[in-house]
Amino acid sequence: MQLYGENIGSRLLLGTSLYPSPAILTSAIEASRTEIVTMSLRREAAGGKAGQDFWTMIRTLGLKILPNTAGCHSVKEAVTTAQMARELFGTKWIKLEVIGEADTLQPDVFGLVEAARILCADGFDVFPYTTEDLVVAEKLLAAGCKVLMPWGAPIGTGRGLNNVYGLRSLRAHFKDVPLIVDAGIGLPSHAAAAMELGFDAILLNTAVAKAGDPVAMARAFALGIEAGRTAFLADPMEPRDMAAPSTPVLGKAQLA
């Protein structure tokens, strides 16, 4: 998988919040075999000591950092947060969130496109958290994004893929664009289903962090994503309306 020109071996991107302890987070990251973790700017404080131990721990794991603009509700707030993250984390990668609705945390797609245009022009590699809307996707790509991150369901709900038709349409329309399902994944089977549709990767946090055993769940997601990707590449059979016998009827004994 290539993301903004960089080769990435793992198709699981993992968030770093809500874990019971730093030790469990470290073990879950290792079990997931991820190469990319997301971090909120709010975990750090530029010029101060807050969050430095956490940042040091993440750096020792040798992972690619994808800062995010979580909690931003306006274009100005998201752009400013992204610029601060670039300075603090030393990367031009940014997961862009512009939240428009408090209960569902649905993206404000109008603000998202505007913020993406500003950040792309400023040299950022933008990973926009968006809906499965085809028109919004077109506008994000026109703004300069080379990766799209549609939600499966609202953040933290664990509902899986709420709109399979919409996600399948998105994949069909943008065959050459890396598509990462972000948000709402609750089970490894949800992740496998998304990969079977042809999506390139999964980004999740809560499903692992809030599991009874985060380390075991991280390992399960790694296996589910691998299974889904392998199934997609194997060209699975199409569903049928009628039964089709798997045992040949030709040559079957005829009883008088």
Residues marked active site are found at 95
- Asked whether 121 and 115 are in contact (CB, 8 A), the reply is no
Q: Which two tokens stand for residue 51?
A: 């969050």
> Three-state DSSP class for 89?
helix
HEC sequence for 169-207: HHHHHCCCCCEEEECCCCCHHHHHHHHHCCCCEEEECHH
Q: Which two tokens stand for residue 163?
A: 């709109």
C-alpha closest to that of 140 among 152, 153, 130, 151: 130
State the amino acid at position 24 in one-letter form.
I
